[in-house]
Structures are given as C-alpha cells and as structure tokens.
Structure 1
Amino acid sequence: MKRSIGALLCVALLAGCGLAQAAELTVMTSGGFTAAYKQLGPQYAARSGDTLVTVLGPSMGKAAEAIPNRLARGEHADVVIMVGYALDELIRQGKVDPVSRVELADSRIGLVVREGQAKPAIGTAAELKQTLLAATSVAYSDSASGVYIENQLYKKLGIHDQLAGKSTMVERVPVAAQVAKGDYQLGFQQVAELLPVPGVTYVGKIPESLQSVTRFAAGIPKNARHPAEARQLLNYLASPDVQPTVRATGLDSVAR
C-alpha cells in the first residue's frame, strides 16, 4: 500500500512538473502568414503542450490593431510574425531581439473579383494595365502589397493619375471581403490573404515582372515572458516539415 501511495505521489508530481513547463504564448501575426499559422499553430500546441493566444493585426499602418502600434502601447507578445522590413524596424527600435529573427515565407500579390464575375486578363503587363484602366473601382490593403501598388505599380504601368480617383486603400479588413460585398470591382492583396475569403474568384498573381515579393519573418520581443518556448515555436514554423502547408496557403517557401 505504501509503495502504491508513493507511486501515485510520484506520478502526481511529474504531472505537476509537466503542467508547470507548459507555457501560454501570445503570438501577434499579420495577414500574410495568418492562414498558414492557423493550421500550424494548433498542430504545434498539440505536440508541445503550450497554449497559443493569437492576436491579429497588420504589420504596419495607422490602425490601432497594427502590431507596431500594439507594442508601442505596451501590449505583451512572445512572438511577432510580420512583414520582414517592418520587423527589422522593430529590431532597430530595440523592441525585438535581433538574434531571434527567423525567415518564414515569401508572399506575392494576387487579384480577385466578385464571385460570378468574369476573370479579367492580367497575364502580361499590357493586359494588367488594360484591366485596371477599364475597372470602375480598385481596392488594395494598407499593408505592404497596397503600399507597393499605390506608390510603385501604377507608376510602372504609367497609369498613376488615371487610377488615383478610383482606387481605395482598405484598412483593417480583408480586401477580398469588400470585393465580395460588391464595394469594389477589383481587389489586390497578398495571395495568402485572398484565398481564404468566400464570395470572390481568385484571378491569379500579377505578372512576375511587376511583382513585389514580401518576405514574412518572425521574432521575439525583448519583453517576452517565455523566450525559450517562443524560440521552439519559431523553429517549428520555419522547419522543412511544415513547408507543404505553407505553400498550400498561397505562400512560397524561403530558399535555405
């Protein structure tokens, strides 16, 4: 009987130790990698025993939900997943540990129209230019892809002035969701952010000659409560084993 009681106490102590080792990680992630993270996060939690608390927000911009603005207000995070150059700015500001930076995936820009509408031609620069000129309205995000379209793509095509009056930068919400409601005829965003949204038809990526590739990366804030566990999560998200899932969401694996 004494031996049985001792064994039960040992098991209880081991279980308690296991529970103590499990961590609750707060993960701030921006749109481009979110579809992949939503699949990979639960898989990691199941195998590690850690709990992941997910906070969504864009990598940049004026919205209160933007990751840099959240951190500036003092919100806590153990991991931030965002556009690489926006992460680099947080590293420069001393808010993210530079040694923790991990490359995750590349993201390209795509186009959607409302479900049921004919797919416009965008396979070449000339076709994309004509499609944009013929459109009644165009929407793009307030993150990296939209900044590129507004500041560079239109100028490369020589149609900046013609598009200025019928283009809108959409804040906070997915561009495809606004296209699905009929608010805009054409919607540009990173492919991984377009594919999960119902009510639209994915047309395709813009031509590679006009493409802007956004690198998504992750890091650990200086005030992270669980940096060791955060590092394990980042290693998993960047590992070769998860790349098929990453690519299935519309992202491209990083060459290593």
Structure 2
Amino acid sequence: MSRLAIPAAPVAIAFASGIALAPWARADVAWTTWLASLASAGALLLAGRTSWAAALLLAGVGAIGALRGIEPPLPPDHVARLELPRIARVDGRLAAEPVRWTPDRLRLLIDVEGVDGLPRSGRIQATVYGVPPPLAEGQRLAAELRLYPATGLRNPGTFDYAEHLKREGIRVTATARADRLTPLDDPVPPWPARIKHESLAAISRALPPTSGALLAGLLLGERTDLPHELDEGFRLAGVYHVLAVSGFNVALLAAAVFA
C-alpha cells in the first residue's frame, strides 16, 4: 500500500513518536525544533524540494507531539508543592456540582484560592463525610481539610488512579468532616444543575420512593436515595453501570414512553 493510500499515517506516526519521546524531551528544544522545521520546510517548498520539506514537516509534527506529552511544571504557588500530608484551612471555589455517593458521603472538586491564609492554586478532590450544608457548583467555601498527595493502587498492571487524577489536573486529594465546611456565598447554581434538581424533585413527586430512586439513577446518575438492598443487588449482578447516565438509558425510557 502506497503512502498516498494512507496519507495520514506518516503524520500520525510522527506525532505518536513525539509523544513517546516526551519523557526525555525538553520543552525549549521541542519549540526550537518545531519553529526551525516550519521555517526550513517553507524555504524548501519555495525551492521546489518537496520531499525534504515533507520530512522536515514530519519532524515538526514530532516536536508538536513531544510538546503535547511534556508535563508542564507546577506553578510555585501550587498546592501540591506544600509539604503533605497536612491539615489546612483551604479557601476555594467548587469546580463542579458535588457528587453524592451516599446521604453522608460526597465528593467535591475545589479550585484552590488560598491555604492557611496564603494565596495558592491548583485543584483538590475532597471526600466529605457527614451531612454537609447545601452546596452548588461555583460556590465559594472554606474548609478544614486533611490534604494528601494523589496516589493510587501500586499493583503492577492495575488502573493507575493517580495518573488519572493527574490528567484531570488533580495532584492533591483530601478528606474532611461535613461540619468543617463553611459556604462563603450562595450563588445561583448553573442551569444544568438547576435542571437536575428540578428533575429529581419531579421524579420524587410522581413516583414511589424506590421507583423514583431507580429512575433517578438511570436518567441522572443520582444514586443517593437508592435503597441499600437494591444498590447492592446491582453490584452483585455486575450491572451497576446501568445506573450511570447514558444515552442508552434515555433511549430505553423514550422507547417505553413513546412506543
């Protein structure tokens, strides 16, 4: 098969090679390589040396791949640069709607603004135990958190949770008691959160508790009110993923309603 039959293959290979070499590459060298390749390829194209120009452009694509794979350095004020673990007062803003796993356990994503009175940056994933005050995406809060470096299972070949968190921009995790959270303002939740809250309220009004909790899980991924025995039944049957939000679940409901 000729190169013309798969014109994107050389570009993809060059880009993937750059990503593979990223752990050993320096950002300044990659930028210089990209700029030099681009300028040289332009000059060669003007001179009619298309093959050489194509080779240099592929080198530039490889440099872009390396830049994509190079991990940028943390800013000096990043929360991950603190000595961890530690207990600290964190001021920040909720980056997403709180995820409630059970009535007394939820997960918060906090964009950090300050730690112990000093300006800090970064994002923390916090697990909160107890019944918290009402919280919404975008809300500022202060909390006493126990901070840890983000880690995962160390078994070879298993899912690297710490690397997953790093890709999400999370280098620090935390735990907290609900009574140590203090909302600092009361903003109006964004429209997706308002729609979800109104939908949950409508479901609870229209259906019995168990049926409403099941429908809320199928459509909205909200499993807080799901009875323990039903929740455990889904887990044991290996179909707990059915309670995650998906287009398939919505399609099933639409088919049942409009068929």
> TM-score when scaled to structure 1?
0.22
Greater relative CO (CA pairs within 8 A, separation 6+): 1
> TM-score when scaled to structure 2?
0.22
Which protein is bigger by CA-based radius of gyration? Answer: 2
